[in-house]
Amino acid sequence: MTKLIITAAISGAEVTKEHNSAVPYTIEETASEAFMAYKAGASIIHLHVRTDSGEPTQEKLRFANCIKEIRALCPDVIIQPSTGGAVGMSNEERMQPLQLFPEMATLDCGSVNFGGDEVFLNTENTIKEFAAKMVALGVKPEIEVFDKGMIDTAIALGKKNFIEAPMHFNFVMGVNGGIGASPLDFAFMYSSIPQGSTFTASGIGRHQFNVAALSIVAGGHVRVGLEDNIYLSRGVLARSNGELVEKAARLAKELGREIATPNEARQILGLRIVS
């Protein structure tokens, strides 16, 4: 089976230091958390950035400064900026990190009712705008899918050349408003993606390592990190993203999957190898 790509989602836009003090805000904290995840086996850093006071921002300069510091510590890691940003951000704000020509970036393929009146809005035109921009810039999209219908949306956009094959998906499972995280939910998503696609899976909260186990066994890849889950185990807060990546790596080894290096991940994902 192919080696396992571990993605570390180190901060996201929602979780705060009040939830877990390890959530990185400053440039130094962001680089340090990325480094701990990289040392533990992460080949991809899924990157959101914050102001020093913790506000989510998609500002190009903030991304550039964080990426510079991450690169200094993790020279070959794949950096995957979020274009999701935070709920309520404009498309222009969300797309700023694409101007830095990252190897990958997220493409959210649908809207999600996160709770209350909070909607993570991705209209068809927004998805087309973001997808076309990534094709134009040569950025490989990680297609974020929170339910099965978003896979169908991606397939339809692929037929119109908004998304190139082979596609790479991230099954986001167990978030409020999206698909659940049961083995049946996983099988439904896994059986719905086009032949030849690659996929990773992100279990939210308590689902993180069950979903990771399902994906490891199914030949997929895994995403862990404080963006999605602040606990190392029931009631025990993770002290860093590195601890969460270490746990995923242990799980993988026990289940017979070796961990991919960043360049091995590039090979699996069809990205250009870096020397």
Verify binding: residue 202, Zn ion, rule CB under 5 A.
Answer: no
Partner from Zn ion, ligand KMH, none binding residue 86, C-beta < 5-8 Å depending on class:
ligand KMH
Q: Which stretch binds ligand KMH (CB under 6 A): 62-70, 76-84, 176-184, 248-256?
A: 76-84
Partner from Zn ion, ligand KMH, none binding residue 262, C-beta < 5-8 Å depending on class:
none
Strands (E), the chain: 6-9, 44-47, 49-50, 56-57, 78-81, 104-108, 112-115, 118-120, 140-145, 168-173, 198-203, 221-224, 231-233, 236-237
Verify binding: residue 11, Zn ion, rule CB under 5 A.
Answer: no
Residue 27 tokens read as: 């440039």
> In angstroms, rounded to a whole number, what is the distance separating the alpha carbons of residues 3 and 37?
17
- Residue 27 or 175: which CB sits closer to ligand KMH? 175
> In angstroms, rounded to a whole number, what is the distance separating the alpha carbons of residues 27 and 236?
26
| Residues in 126-155 that interact with ligand KMH by CB under 6 A | 144
> In angstroms, rounded to a whole number, what is the distance separating the alpha carbons of residues 271 and 72?
21
Q: Which residue is nearest to ligand KMH (CB)?
A: 84
Which residue among 6, 8, 10, 13 contacts ligand KMH (CB under 6 A)?
A: 13
The burial of 162, by beta-carbon neighbours within 10 Å (0-12 exposed, 13-18 middle, 19 or more buried), is given as buried
Verify binding: residue 87, ligand KMH, rule CB under 6 A.
Answer: yes
Angle between helices 60-73 and 27-40 (to 10 degrees): 40
Partner from Zn ion, ligand KMH, none binding residue 120, C-beta < 5-8 Å depending on class:
ligand KMH
Q: How many CA atoms lie within 13 A of 27 on its CB side?
A: 13
Which residue among 7, 82, 200, 241 contacts ligand KMH (CB under 6 A)?
A: 82
- Residue 144 or 257: which CB sits closer to Zn ion? 144
- Shortest distance, position 269 Cβ to ligand KMH, whole Å: 17
Partner from Zn ion, ligand KMH, none binding residue 108, C-beta < 5-8 Å depending on class:
ligand KMH
Give the x/- contact pattern for Zn ion in 64-83, rule: CB under 5 A: ------------------x-
> In angstroms, rounded to a whole number, what is the distance separating the alpha carbons of residues 215 and 270?
20
Partner from Zn ion, ligand KMH, none binding residue 144, C-beta < 5-8 Å depending on class:
ligand KMH
Name the β-bridge partners of 34.
none
> In angstroms, rounded to a whole number, what is the distance separating the alpha carbons of residues 200 and 260?
13
- Which residues are at the interface with Zn ion (CB under 5 A)? 82
- Which residues are at the interface with ligand KMH (CB under 6 A)? 12-14, 82-84, 86-87, 106, 108, 120, 144
